[in-house]
Structure 1
Amino acid sequence: MQERIPSDAPQLLHGLEDHPQRTLVAAELHARPFETFTAPLRASHLAMLGSDAATDRAHVARLCEALDQRLPREGATHHSVELGSFRLRWERHTEFSTYTFFITDYSAYGLQPFDVVALDKVPEAWLAAIAGRMIAGVHLALEASSRPQRGVHEIIEMFRTPNVAGSHVADGGALVFTDFRLHGDGFGRLLVQDRGLPPMRTGRLVQRLLEIETYRLIALLAFPLARAASPELNAIEQRLQTITDRMAGECALEEQQGLLDEIAGLASELARASAARNYRLSAARAYHSIVMHRIQALREERLSGLQTIGEFMDRRFTPAMHTCQSVVDRQEALSRSLARATDLLRTRVDVALERQNRDLLASMNRRTDLQLRLQQTVEGLSVVVISYYSAGLLHFLLKGLAAAGVAVNVELTMGLTVPVLVLAIFFSIRAMRRRLLRQPPSEA
């Protein structure tokens, strides 16, 4: 049973301050101890998806309370308890809960291994009220070493299929048989024949076999997603190929910007689809690793006439997991290709924009130069016009003075004054223009 270790305050050991989580993480390795079993035994194992730890823990507590047995502690993720005619082991994992029911089946020694199952002892109303949906369900029969070893033909008849996997396991301490199929009651079947395993090793063997069945099926949840993803990835790859082919030719700036928008749309579509399946595909990879590790821990030895569990998985389970991994690899490769195409196209668009800006600046410079020349021409004409009218005004002034009896030679005075007047007007206009150019532009 997992112990809840308080971690809110550090402890002082020999003057050293203990990390507040040290005891908790040290105890984690012992949080889910193996059961100890002696044959004969029957077990029924369920794995339920779609619920949460609090709901499942409360449901287990209701059963324990109804049978006046020890309740799971607050926050517990594991509970193992004797409940009269059967034993319950409940475990909460990251995304599912497992319920394993055990009965010591001495009274059914003369029956076939699966004529009596542990699930028959569980209250039906409580069983039907378990939250979530069953993803894995298997009945296990552990036969005592006193029973004669069953032959391969008898095993095939019992499972009703020639496609049975079986082997010596645990250094010859037991024989294991299964067909990895769902039978008429909707459950798989595991047959274990004890050949002298001690109770602790028997418990570890049973736990590993049940975990292989559970993690195998949960890992395979990713396989339909992987198969459905292939046509979608094919379509995105083809559209990307079309875009890159168009990029190889000459494209106007507007067309390049349109291609950039198309690539952004493809990247968004890929990101959305990948996010929807990445969790399941990543989980499948982790579960696949657990399954193969558990199979390796069985230490299988071949039985004549049967495939081993490892060989069965290599032919059926591993290719499905490789398909899932190939989808992950394709998604990552496609994402990189989209990123490279985006960078390349964005560079081309930036270069085209720079070229366009350069041409625009050159055009603006030419226009400014033309405006400057026109301005200088207008300034020259302005000097002539102002000088002409100023000379006219001066001429009228001099004629008025002469008519008033002032002794003035109008023609001589005009001849001497006009050049000075023109120069004065010219320098005045130029000084005004320079003063305006030095003045900073006012903000609107």
Structure 2
Amino acid sequence: MTDPVPPTGKDTRHPGFLNRIHQSNKQYLPQWLGVPAHIHHVAYRMANPPVERPNSRREFQHLLQALDISEGAIEEKFGYGFKTAPNGDRLVVVWEAHTEYYSYQVWHVVHDATSPLDFGPITFPGYAMPLSPLGLRVNALDILFVPQAPPSEAELPARLPGAMVYGSRIVGDEIVAVTSFTPDEYDRERYLVCSVSEQALRQQVAKIVDTIVAIENYYHLVMLPMKAFSRAVDQIHDFEQRHLYQRSVLIEQLSGTTPQTMQKWLTVLTQDLLQVSRLAESMRYRLSASVPYDRIVQSNMASLQERPYGSLRRLSEYVSWKITGVTEGYQQLLQRIDAMEKDFEATVAVLRTHIELRLQEQNIGLQDQNMKLLASVDSTTRAQAILQRTVESLSVIVITYYLTGLGSYVLKACYEMGWLKNATVATAVFVPIAFGISFTLMTVGRKIIVKRMAHSTKDGAGH
């Protein structure tokens, strides 16, 4: 929707990695900037940068359309557009996406250096912010660049809200920057940058804006998780006290505790470990970038090359007062959380080992009981087998006795009828036959019973 601004001069370098990392994406922007200038800056933190960064780019395109801006350029993470009013004033809108946040800058560059500029809404003809950007607002700035002598210290409180005003001479002795670090009625922090040398101010305006914006953005990003940090400090303190009590109970009662009770302890400790792990992941995500952000703030403060201005405190004094020790506190909290997580893991591991040892002891005891029971069952089975054999033998004798008695009656009848010569001899001969018949009956009967029991067992298993 916007046409790229053609580069000034001829660039014969071939596109490549080294060219891209050394070539600034703002190389064509400074020619549209200038002084006097009234600048609004606002930065928004992205909750999901891979998704919200392209969305912010599309949002910027819609913003340019709404402002009827057709000149400019848009790249992957940087874009700008500009237009000129009939009175010669210039409106420049800049969008830039970073790792964790994206920002807008609206510049009103005044054509007539004698036109008065003041804090508050942008006074470019017909300008109004047509949309509400996405994300959590990190900070908002209202910056004035005016080529005039700085106001006296007595006049500053009337233009800058707050109880304390800070000021420094920056990037040399000719430029003065003052602020109160206090939001005004529009929720913007005001910066007044002055110099009697319009040329010096014009040469440094882009650098000063970038430096102030970087300091404010990253300073606020460092301070942004402070509430979550305070809550996490209280939470980790509670976990430390809780775990101290849990360990004292374990030391006192572990030796005489049943595995069931230890299992309940293990459940509670595991739940606490999960909560601490969740807290650790959350705080690592929130606080891990605080150290590099703090270094960015410090390096940009150094690049301002501050010198005292009157009796005002330097800008760096306020920033250092706010963030000194903050990143160290964040890192100490992460170390406490890591230590707490390791303590829970160690306690859980010890408790699991004790439970396994107790269960092994119980299993060994059960194995001994089972072995004794098996030995007892084996001896009982043997006795039952011997008894069964004895009963079967007696049964054979009894059946033989009864068969012999029945056979003797038959043989005596045959003797009386003259069919046999001697009934006694015949009875004696019949005794072995009766024994064989009895043994056969017992053997066949046992096989039939065993077969029926096997069939009944298979039928029960099938159902």
In structure 2, the CA distance between the partners of 1:67 and 1:245, relative to structure 1 (3 Å rule), is same
CA distance in 1, matches of 2:18, 2:344: 43
Q: Does 1:219 align with 2:237?
A: no
Q: Any conservation in 1 of the 2:222–2:323 contact (CA below 8 Å)?
A: no
CA distance in 1, matches of 2:23, 2:68: 27
Find the counterpart in structure 1 of residue 336 from structure 2: 330
Q: Any conservation in 2 of the 1:89–1:100 contact (CA below 8 Å)?
A: yes
In structure 2, the CA distance between the partners of 1:394 and 1:137, relative to structure 1 (3 Å rule), is same
Find the counterpart in structure 2 of residue 9 from structure 1: none
The match for 1:33 among 26, 34, 46 is: 26
Find the counterpart in structure 1 of residue 184 from structure 2: 183
In structure 2, the CA distance between the partners of 1:385 and 1:68, relative to structure 1 (3 Å rule), is closer
In structure 2, the CA distance between the partners of 1:390 and 1:29, relative to structure 1 (3 Å rule), is farther
CA distance in 2, matches of 1:135, 1:2: 30
Stretches of structure 1 lacking an aligned partner (at least 5 in a row): 4-17, 433-442
Q: Any conservation in 2 of the 1:60–1:72 contact (CA below 8 Å)?
A: no
Q: 5 Å matches for 1:11-26? A: 23=16
In structure 2, the CA distance between the partners of 1:386 and 1:270, relative to structure 1 (3 Å rule), is same
In structure 2, the CA distance between the partners of 1:233 and 1:226, relative to structure 1 (3 Å rule), is same
The match for 1:91 among 93, 96, 99 is: 96
What SS is found at the alignment partner of 2:140? strand
Find the counterpart in structure 1 of residue 244 from structure 2: 241
Find the counterpart in structure 2 of residue 435 from structure 1: none
In structure 2, the CA distance between the partners of 1:187 and 1:394, relative to structure 1 (3 Å rule), is same
Deviation at 1:117, TM superposition (A): 5.4
Deviation at 1:120, TM superposition (A): 3.0
What SS is found at the alignment partner of 2:182? coil
Q: Any conservation in 2 of the 1:43–1:118 contact (CA below 8 Å)?
A: no
Q: Which amino acid aligns with 2:425?
A: A
Find the counterpart in structure 2 of residue 82 from structure 1: 82
Q: Any conservation in 1 of the 2:69–2:82 contact (CA below 8 Å)?
A: no
The match for 2:141 among 125, 128, 138 is: 138
CA distance in 2, matches of 1:2, 1:297: 34
Q: Any conservation in 2 of the 1:102–1:118 contact (CA below 8 Å)?
A: no
Give deviations 1:87-142, integer Å, cap 9, x for gaps.
2211123443311122334646585xx72557232755434544455431112223
CA distance in 1, matches of 2:69, 2:321: 48
Q: Any conservation in 2 of the 1:142–1:192 contact (CA below 8 Å)?
A: yes
Q: Any conservation in 1 of the 2:3–2:71 contact (CA below 8 Å)?
A: no
Identity across the alignment (%): 16
Aligned residues: 404
Deviation at 1:178, TM superposition (A): 2.6
What is the TM-score normalised by the length of structure 2? 0.72
What SS is found at the alignment partner of 2:144? strand
Find the counterpart in structure 1 of residue 359 from structure 2: 353
Give deviations 1:319-370, integer Å, cap 9, x for gaps.
3444433333332222222211111111111111111111111111111111
Q: CA RMSD of the aligned region, Å?
A: 4.1
Stretches of structure 2 lacking an aligned partner (at least 5 in a row): 5-13, 412-422, 451-460
Q: Which amino acid aligns with 2:41?
A: H
Q: Any conservation in 2 of the 1:170–1:300 contact (CA below 8 Å)?
A: yes
In structure 2, the CA distance between the partners of 1:124 and 1:219, relative to structure 1 (3 Å rule), is farther
The match for 1:101 among 106, 121, 125 is: 106
What SS is found at the alignment partner of 2:260? helix
Give deviations 1:149-196, integer Å, cap 9, x for gaps.
666566567546563333343355644333322123321122334477
The match for 2:322 among 311, 316, 329 is: 316
Identify which range, 117-126 or 386-395, moves more after superposition.
Answer: 117-126
In structure 2, the CA distance between the partners of 1:23 and 1:122, relative to structure 1 (3 Å rule), is farther
Deviation at 1:310, TM superposition (A): 3.3
CA distance in 2, matches of 1:379, 1:240: 62
Q: Any conservation in 2 of the 1:64–1:70 contact (CA below 8 Å)?
A: no
The match for 2:231 among 228, 232, 246 is: 228
Identify which range, 341-350 or 130-139, moves more after superposition.
Answer: 130-139
In structure 2, the CA distance between the partners of 1:50 and 1:149, relative to structure 1 (3 Å rule), is closer
What SS is found at the alignment partner of 2:104? strand
Find the counterpart in structure 2 of residue 12 from structure 1: none
CA distance in 2, matches of 1:58, 1:193: 36
Q: Which amino acid aligns with 1:370?
A: S
What SS is found at the alignment partner of 1:407? helix
Q: 5 Å matches for 1:39-438? A: 39-49=35-45, 52-65=52-65, 66-70=67-71, 72-73=73-74, 76-84=76-84, 85=89, 86-105=91-110, 107=112, 115-116=118-119, 119-121=122-124, 123=126, 125-132=128-135, 134-144=137-147, 147-148=148-149, 159=160, 163-170=164-171, 172=173, 174-194=175-195, 197=200, 201-248=204-251, 249-250=253-254, 251-303=257-309, 305-398=311-404, 404=411, 405=423, 407=425
Give deviations 1:185-210, integer Å, cap 9, x for gaps.
32112233447758565422320111
What SS is found at the alignment partner of 2:70? coil
Q: Which amino acid aligns with 1:407?
A: V
In structure 2, the CA distance between the partners of 1:340 and 1:301, relative to structure 1 (3 Å rule), is farther
Q: Any conservation in 1 of the 2:407–2:427 contact (CA below 8 Å)?
A: no
In structure 2, the CA distance between the partners of 1:59 and 1:396, relative to structure 1 (3 Å rule), is closer
In structure 2, the CA distance between the partners of 1:172 and 1:354, relative to structure 1 (3 Å rule), is farther
Larger Rg: 2
Runs of 4+ with deviation above 6 angstroms: none
Deviation at 1:240, TM superposition (A): 1.9
